[in-house]
Amino acid sequence: MSLDLKTIKHISKLARISVDEKRAEKLAGDLNSIFEFIEKLNELKTDNVEPLTSIAKTTLKLRSDEVKSRNIRDQIIKNSPQDNEDYFVVPKVIE
C-alpha cells in the first residue's frame, strides 16, 4: 500500500487538520515506511506461534476476594465538595 499527496490531503481534510505541502510530503514518506513495515510483518509465518502476553515467565500471586473495609460510607461522603447526607455531590461539568 502506498499513499500519495492527494490521499494525505484527503485524510487531513477528513481529520480536520491543516497540513501544508511540505508537511504532507513528510507525512506521506513516514506513513509509507510504516505501511512497508506492516507488509513485512504480514509475510511472517505465525501459524504455530502462541500469542505472547509477557516476556517474563512469572505468574500473578492470587489472593482471596474479601471485603476489607466496612461501613465507611460516612467517611466517603464527608469528602464531598457540598454537604449532603445521601450521596457524593460534585460540581456540574457539562453545561
68 phi and psi angles, rounded to 5 deg: -105, -25
- DSSP 3-state assignment of 20? coil
Domain limits at 19?
Answer: 5-42
pLDDT of residue 53: 81
Number of domains in the chain: 1
Q: Name which of 5-14, 19-28, 72-81 the model is least confident about.
A: 72-81
Asked whether residue 47 is assigned to any structural domain, the reply reads: no
pTM above 0.85, yes or no: no
Asked whether residue 83 is assigned to any structural domain, the reply reads: no
Give the Cα-Cα-Cα angle 24, 26, 32 (nearest 5 degrees): 100
CA 84 remoteness from chain centre? 36
CATH number at residue 13: 1.10.20
Q: Tens digits of per-residue pLDDT, 19-41?
A: 999 999 999 999 999 999 999 99
